[in-house]
Structure 1
Amino acid sequence: MTRLTRWLVLLAAPLLLASCILVPTKFVSTLDIKADRSFTFTYVGEVQLLKSKSESAPVDEENMNANPGDGNSEQSWDEGDGEPRMIQIAARAKPKAKTKGKADETFGESDEDAAKLQQLATTLRGEYGFRSVRYIGNRKLAIDYRISGRLDHAFVFPFNPDGEIMFPFLAIELRGKDRLRVKAPGFANDESASSSMGGMGGMGGMGGDEGPGSLLDGSFTLTTTADVVSQNQEDGAQTQPDGSKKIVWTVSPNTRDAPMAVLRVSPLP
């Protein structure tokens, strides 16, 4: 795992234990990256807040402090795979399994929930890029987000510590002077990855039997004039009439691999 996603997971771990996590449901998202590093990202659709505090199982303090396999409580990183130990701690405190048909226990709404979500909508409307945020009931927000800029630094969406939104739908990382890595961990339902949260591969195991990955219904489109070094869409990049490349990922509960691409762009000084 790269340095950026390591720290994102470390930041997210306390929220997995005691807060609300924003997850995508029905959406259309686009990302356009030019060879000169200029970009535009959009997300239009619904998001849902997954409540984890009341459903979480008690944390096993003994197991949290122990390093599985060798009993070394001092080690905070797994030497075998280089992943943060906090990731595994967060995974152990995931919600108890729900019985079939009990999705409302995870996504159901109380008066307190409604008030909190109304407040969150107000908070997000004050953030740059959020053109519209509406609370539509049933723990859902309708979002219209658009932002443009230059990728001379990392970019993460969404990221609002005050609003308790930490789990990234999309992360763009700088890789050396002339490469960018795009990954969308929020647009996948990789249960094996999310059970450890180590790979930032998806969200399948974050919410018990009725996890957030079961709600995914959308598309993510990457267009670029940069060189596509690698990508994981099996149909590959399609060349457009203007010479740009287009990659489309259809996102559903069956999506196991988070959309990913590495691009070669103009080098930084």
Structure 2
Amino acid sequence: MTNIWPKMVAALAMPLLLVSCVFTPGKFTSALTIHVDRSFTFSYTGEVNAVDVEGLMGKAMLEGVKASAEAGKTKGKGKTAAEPPFPLTLSPEEKAERDRRFMRIASELSKETGYRKVEYRGDGVFFIDFEISGTLDHGFAYPYSPDNKITFPWISIELRGKDMVRFKVPGFSNQDPTGMGMPTSGPMAQSMSMMMGTDAKPMDGVFTFVTDAEIISQNNEDGAIGDGKVKTISWKIDDNTDTAPMASLRVRPKP
């Protein structure tokens, strides 16, 4: 049987060529405030697991070539080499290179707006304290750092029409926001991290949304609570969270 793993790895690698690592939430607290005047604040404080996509693809390609060569040797001998070349465990030298790359990413992120603290703690785990405020005259996504090839955000805020805003947080669920089978949380992301020799932490946190705008729709069973104009919605997030937090709001029209 012809070995299919080199072809599969190549196909998976193509859309990931611009990605260095994928961040996944660990233990955290996060909050989003959106006011009717379009001002907003987003914060995330806690652990972040990093899936080393660059190292994963390189290792997978190398192992795929080896498996293909082995398939050629065993052809016609009643054996098959169609099994995947897993586990893709890293050597000590490869782990050291990965850690150097992650330390560089931590250093670069600490220079970007909103990052109050970025610390790489080893084994693929970061600690991040991030907060940013602004006005929603354009969309917003986090985490997003093209310079560091981090391009799969957990949260996106979209402007819809003249007076509507919608946010969705696929990174705080088991959903795949990439559309390419690249989970940013949950058991699959943890498996990928462990395959690369990282100590992935379970996703465990609370996401709190606060607004004085009109809530058109939201997907929290407990609904919004609060007195007067200010409403609060809280989602408890863990590895069993299947539905991404989301809400649509009516805000002040853009001038």
* TM superposition score normalised by structure 1: 0.69
Shift of 1:53: 4.2
- Could you give the per-residue CA deviations for residues 97-125 of structure 1, whole angstroms, max 9, x where no partner exists? 967xx9x77xxx81111111111111011
**Are 1:233 and 2:210 an aligned pair?**
no
Indicate yes or no: 2:235 matched with 1:249.
yes
Aligned to 1:222: 209
Q: Please give the secondary structure, in 1, of the residue aligned with 2:242.
A: coil
Q: Letter of the aligned partner of 2:139 in structure 1? A: A
Verify the 8 A CA contact 1:97 1:208 in the aligned structure 2: no
Aligned AA (1:39): F
Give the gaps of 5 or more residues in structure 1: 1-11, 59-95
Deviations 1:210-251 (A, max 9, x none): 57998211111000000000011111111x235311111111
Letter of the 1:24 counterpart: P
Alignment of 1:63-78 (within 5 A): none
Query: Cα deviations across residues 187-213 of structure 1 (Å, max 9, x unaligned)?
Result: 1013xx569449x99645864845799
- Please show how residues 198-217 of structure 1 align to structure 2 within 5 Å: 203-204=185-186, 207=189, 209=191, 215-217=202-204
Give the secondary-structure state (helix, strand or coil) at the position aligned to 1:123: helix
1:34-86 deviation line (CA, Å, top 9, x unaligned): 1100111110001111123454566xxxxxxxxxxxxxxxxxxxxxxxxxxxx
Say which of 110, 116, 119 aligns to 2:95: 110
Any conservation in 2 of the 1:52–1:207 contact (CA below 8 Å)? no
Change in 2 beyond 3 A, CA 1:23/1:227: same
Residue 46 of structure 2 is matched in structure 1 by 45
- The aligned residue for residue 149 of structure 1 is 134
Partners of 1:217 and 1:43 in 2: CA distance: 13
Counterparts of 1:201 and 1:116, CA distance in 2: 21
Say whether 1:185 aligns with 2:186: no
Q: Match for 1:256: what amino acid?
A: D
2:37 corresponding residue in structure 1: 36
**C-alpha distance in 1, partners of 2:121/2:234?**
28
C-alpha separation in 2, matches of 1:13 and 1:237? 43
Please tell me whether residue 125 in structure 1 is matched to residue 115 in structure 2.
no
Q: For residue 153 of structure 2, what is the amino acid of its counterpart?
A: P
Match of 1:14 in 2: 15
Report which of the two structures shows the higher radius of gyration computed on alpha carbons.
Answer: 2
Could you say which residue in structure 2 is the equivalent of 1:81? none
Give the alignment's TM-score, normalised by structure 2.
Answer: 0.73
- The residue type equivalent to 2:133 in the other structure is S
Aligned-partner Cα distance in 1 for 2:178–2:254: 37
Amino acid corresponding to residue 144 of structure 2 in structure 1: F
Distance 1:175 1:201, change over 3 A: farther
1:158 deviates by: 1.1
RMSD: 3.1
3-state SS in 1 of match to 2:241: coil
**Which residue in 1 is equivalent to 2:24?**
23
Query: Shift in Å at residue 141 of structure 1?
Result: 1.1
Aligned length: 212
- Paired AA for residue 257 in structure 1: T
Percent identical: 45
SS in structure 1 of the partner of residue 103 of structure 2: helix
Between the aligned partners of 2:180 and 2:152, the Cα distance in structure 1 is: 11
Question: Residue type of the partner of 2:48?
Answer: V
Q: Which residue type is aligned with residue 207 of structure 2? A: F
